[in-house]
Protein backbone atom coordinates (compact mmCIF):
# COMPACT_ATOMS: atom_id res chain seq x y z
CA UNK A 1 0.00 0.00 0.00
CA UNK A 2 1.41 3.35 -1.02
CA UNK A 3 0.97 5.95 1.72
CA UNK A 4 1.62 9.54 0.75
CA UNK A 5 3.03 11.76 3.44
CA UNK A 6 1.65 15.26 3.59
CA UNK A 7 3.72 18.36 4.16
CA UNK A 8 1.88 18.89 7.46
CA UNK A 9 2.88 15.42 8.69
CA UNK A 10 6.52 16.04 7.85
CA UNK A 11 6.49 19.45 9.56
CA UNK A 12 4.88 17.95 12.67
CA UNK A 13 7.49 15.20 12.93
CA UNK A 14 10.30 17.69 12.35
CA UNK A 15 9.03 20.07 15.03
CA UNK A 16 8.65 17.25 17.56
CA UNK A 17 12.15 15.85 17.03
CA UNK A 18 14.07 19.04 16.42
CA UNK A 19 12.22 21.95 17.98
CA UNK A 20 10.02 20.91 20.84
CA UNK A 21 8.60 18.36 23.13
CA UNK A 22 10.20 16.47 25.94
CA UNK A 23 11.03 13.53 23.70
CA UNK A 24 12.90 15.78 21.24
CA UNK A 25 14.78 17.47 24.09
CA UNK A 26 15.78 14.10 25.54
CA UNK A 27 17.08 12.97 22.14
CA UNK A 28 19.12 16.17 21.77
CA UNK A 29 20.70 16.03 25.23
CA UNK A 30 21.43 12.32 24.85
CA UNK A 31 23.22 13.04 21.57
CA UNK A 32 25.31 15.76 23.22
CA UNK A 33 26.08 13.56 26.23
CA UNK A 34 27.21 10.77 23.91
CA UNK A 35 29.36 13.10 21.82
CA UNK A 36 31.05 14.60 24.88
CA UNK A 37 31.45 11.45 27.00
CA UNK A 38 30.82 8.15 25.18
CA UNK A 39 31.28 8.47 21.41
CA UNK A 40 34.44 6.38 21.08
CA UNK A 41 35.73 3.12 22.54
CA UNK A 42 39.33 2.16 23.25
CA UNK A 43 39.82 -0.92 21.05
CA UNK A 44 39.83 -4.18 22.97
CA UNK A 45 38.37 -2.61 26.11
CA UNK A 46 35.06 -1.40 27.51
CA UNK A 47 36.52 2.09 28.08
CA UNK A 48 34.44 4.74 26.34
CA UNK A 49 35.25 8.42 25.94
CA UNK A 50 34.03 11.38 23.97
CA UNK A 51 35.44 14.66 22.79
CA UNK A 52 35.50 16.10 26.33
CA UNK A 53 38.89 14.60 27.28
CA UNK A 54 40.23 15.20 23.77
CA UNK A 55 39.33 18.91 23.69
CA UNK A 56 40.33 19.10 27.37
CA UNK A 57 43.94 18.56 26.33
CA UNK A 58 43.94 22.26 25.40
CA UNK A 59 44.92 24.03 28.62
CA UNK A 60 41.98 25.72 30.39
CA UNK A 61 40.13 26.75 27.20
CA UNK A 62 39.34 23.16 26.21
CA UNK A 63 37.70 22.30 29.52
CA UNK A 64 35.70 25.50 29.63
CA UNK A 65 34.58 25.02 26.03
CA UNK A 66 33.17 21.58 26.78
CA UNK A 67 31.61 22.97 29.97
CA UNK A 68 29.76 25.55 27.87
CA UNK A 69 28.51 22.83 25.51
CA UNK A 70 27.48 20.75 28.53
CA UNK A 71 25.59 23.80 29.73
CA UNK A 72 23.13 23.15 26.91
CA UNK A 73 22.04 20.00 28.74
CA UNK A 74 21.37 22.13 31.83
CA UNK A 75 19.42 24.67 29.76
CA UNK A 76 17.21 21.91 28.35
CA UNK A 77 16.71 20.60 31.89
CA UNK A 78 15.50 24.02 32.99
CA UNK A 79 13.12 24.13 30.00
CA UNK A 80 11.78 20.70 30.98
CA UNK A 81 11.05 21.89 34.51
CA UNK A 82 13.72 19.89 36.32
CA UNK A 83 13.78 20.94 40.01
CA UNK A 84 16.34 23.51 41.14
CA UNK A 85 18.19 21.07 43.41
CA UNK A 86 18.78 18.77 40.42
CA UNK A 87 19.93 21.74 38.31
CA UNK A 88 22.38 22.56 41.12
CA UNK A 89 23.71 19.01 41.03
CA UNK A 90 24.11 19.24 37.26
CA UNK A 91 26.03 22.50 37.55
CA UNK A 92 28.25 20.91 40.21
CA UNK A 93 28.98 17.99 37.84
CA UNK A 94 30.02 20.37 35.06
CA UNK A 95 32.04 22.61 37.39
CA UNK A 96 33.93 19.68 38.89
CA UNK A 97 34.59 18.25 35.44
CA UNK A 98 35.93 21.59 34.16
CA UNK A 99 37.99 22.35 37.27
CA UNK A 100 39.69 18.98 37.68
CA UNK A 101 39.95 18.68 33.90
CA UNK A 102 42.38 21.60 33.87
CA UNK A 103 45.04 19.55 35.69
CA UNK A 104 47.46 18.17 33.09
CA UNK A 105 47.19 14.40 32.49
CA UNK A 106 45.13 13.75 35.64
CA UNK A 107 42.42 16.02 34.24
CA UNK A 108 42.21 14.06 30.99
CA UNK A 109 41.91 10.79 32.92
CA UNK A 110 39.28 12.35 35.17
CA UNK A 111 37.29 13.59 32.14
CA UNK A 112 37.33 10.05 30.75
CA UNK A 113 36.06 8.52 34.00
CA UNK A 114 33.73 11.18 35.50
CA UNK A 115 31.44 11.67 32.46
CA UNK A 116 29.64 14.72 33.85
CA UNK A 117 27.45 15.11 30.78
CA UNK A 118 26.28 11.49 30.82
CA UNK A 119 25.48 11.88 34.53
CA UNK A 120 23.50 15.03 33.74
CA UNK A 121 21.54 13.35 30.95
CA UNK A 122 20.64 10.54 33.37
CA UNK A 123 19.47 13.08 35.97
CA UNK A 124 17.19 14.72 33.41
CA UNK A 125 15.86 11.36 32.20
CA UNK A 126 15.03 10.31 35.78
CA UNK A 127 13.10 13.53 36.32
CA UNK A 128 11.19 13.31 33.04
CA UNK A 129 10.42 9.60 33.62
CA UNK A 130 9.15 10.42 37.13
CA UNK A 131 6.75 13.00 35.68
CA UNK A 132 5.42 10.67 32.98
DSSP-assigned states of every residue in the chain: --PPPPHHHHHHHHIIIIISSHHHHHHHHHHHHIIIIISEE-TTSS-EE-HHHHHTTSTTHHHHHHHHHHHHHHHHHHHTT--HHHHHHHHHHHHHHHHHHTSTTHHHHHHHHH-HHHHHHHHHHHHHHHH-
97-111 per-position pLDDT tens digit:
999 999 999 999 999
* pLDDT of amino acid 131: 64
Q: How far apart (Å, rounded) are the C-alpha atoms in residues 99 and 129?
A: 31
Convert the pLDDT of each residue in 5-18 to its tens digit.
555 655 565 555 55
CA 25, 31, 32, 38 dihedral sign is positive
User: pLDDT value at position 60?
Assistant: 87
Residue 66: how many other CB atoms lie within 10 Å = 28
Q: What is the pLDDT of residue 19?
A: 54
Determine what percent of the chain is predicted with pLDDT higher than 90. 75
Q: Is it the case that residue 125 has pLDDT exceeding 60?
A: yes
Question: What was the pLDDT predicted at 21?
Answer: 83
Separation in Å, CA 88 to CA 78, 94, 105, 123:
11, 10, 28, 11
Q: What is the pLDDT of residue 119?
A: 98
Cα 80 from Cα 69, distance rounded (Å): 18
Q: What is the pLDDT of residue 70?
A: 97
pLDDT bracket for residue 129 (50, 70, 90):
confident
39 or 10: which carries more pLDDT confidence?
39
Amino acid sequence: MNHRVTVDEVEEEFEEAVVGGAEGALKRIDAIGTLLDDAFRVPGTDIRFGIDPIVGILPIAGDWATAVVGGYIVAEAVNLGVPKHVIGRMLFNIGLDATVGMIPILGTLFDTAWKANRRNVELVEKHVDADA
